[in-house]
Amino acid sequence: MALTLYNAPQSTCSQRVRFALHAKGLAFEEVKLDLFSGDQLKPEYLSLNPNGVVPTLVDGDAVIVDSAVILEYLEDTRGDVAPMRPADPVAAAQMRAMMRFIDEVPTPAIRIPSYNLAFLPHFQSMSEEDFQALCDSKPLRREFLMRMGRTGFPQADMDEAMGRLGRGIARMADWLEASGGPFLMGAEISLADLAVLPVIVRMDDINLGHMWADRPMVDAWFETMRARPEHAATWYHGSLLTQKYPHLARLRAERKSA
């Protein structure tokens, strides 16, 4: 049955699903949405995903939304191919607990530095009326954008986000130490690895890789994940913020040369 993935190249939630599809060797049609052009808010997409966010997976007549749900769905329907969920119920529950932490702590936290460092110039170029209209059009992100405003998130929010990212790195280090690596749950890759990988890639891309400089097991995990063939297929050119936003690429180059 044909699979269609509606997603955006730079979306971290889209990236975790792309990684899973490539890891399982599943053929799929990729429909790329331009989030700044509002593709995710057009009626035809909202008819699939009323939340107006990416990704959305269409599997025949089935429409599956939310990246964590999609990852589980792929295990439910294609779990015989490159399984990434433990067969043991206790281990599967532990994996889901990891994913819940990832989705509650580091995943929302990475949005704040991402918006301040990469997306803010786009919003600053808008009129107050256009920005308000944009906020009001977002079913799930209205309050988030309103808090950011056209001047960016305040330093207190940035500090909180950095603290949450730091706790995420610390928890990953704990998991790796307990399991022995190379993956979060030990010898086999799991959905927990896929859930957190886009956050780590984004942190590295926006110059926050120093946050695991004293966590060698996290660094080794990242290198292991990046060496997998599905990594290159997932992060094709244009999937990194530094590839899309010249000002961010310049900032990265300046910090590397400093």
Output the CA–CA distances (angstroms, integers) from residue 100 to 25, 103, 147, 192, 207, in the order listed.
26, 5, 24, 9, 26
Radius of gyration of the chain (CA): 18
* Domain covering 89-236+243-257 in this structure, CATH number: 1.20.1050.10
Burial class of residue 140, CB neighbours in 10 A (0-12, 13-18, 19+): exposed
Kindly report the number of other CB atoms within 10 A of residue 23's CB atom.
21
H or E, element range at 3: strand 3-7
Kindly report the number of other CB atoms within 10 A of residue 120's CB atom.
18
**Per-residue pLDDT, 250:** 83
**Boundaries of every domain in the chain:** 3-78, 89-236+243-257
pLDDT along the chain (258 residues), means of 10: 93 98 98 92 95 96 98 98 98 98 98 90 86 86 86 93 98 98 98 98 95 98 98 97 86 74
Kindly report the number of other CB atoms within 10 A of residue 18's CB atom.
25
Say how many CA atoms lie within 13 Å of 84 toward its Cβ. Answer: 29
Asked if 183 contacts 221 with a C-beta cutoff of 8 angstroms, the reply is yes
What's the pLDDT tens digit per position in 73-107?
999 999 999 999 999 999 999 999 999 999 999 99
Cα gap 216→36, rounded to integer Å: 37
**Per-residue pLDDT, 232:** 97
**Per-residue pLDDT, 1:** 62
Residue 57 three-state SS: strand
Question: Any idea which architecture 3-78 has in CATH?
Answer: 3-Layer(aba) Sandwich (3.40)
Closest CA to 218 of 170, 256, 185: 170
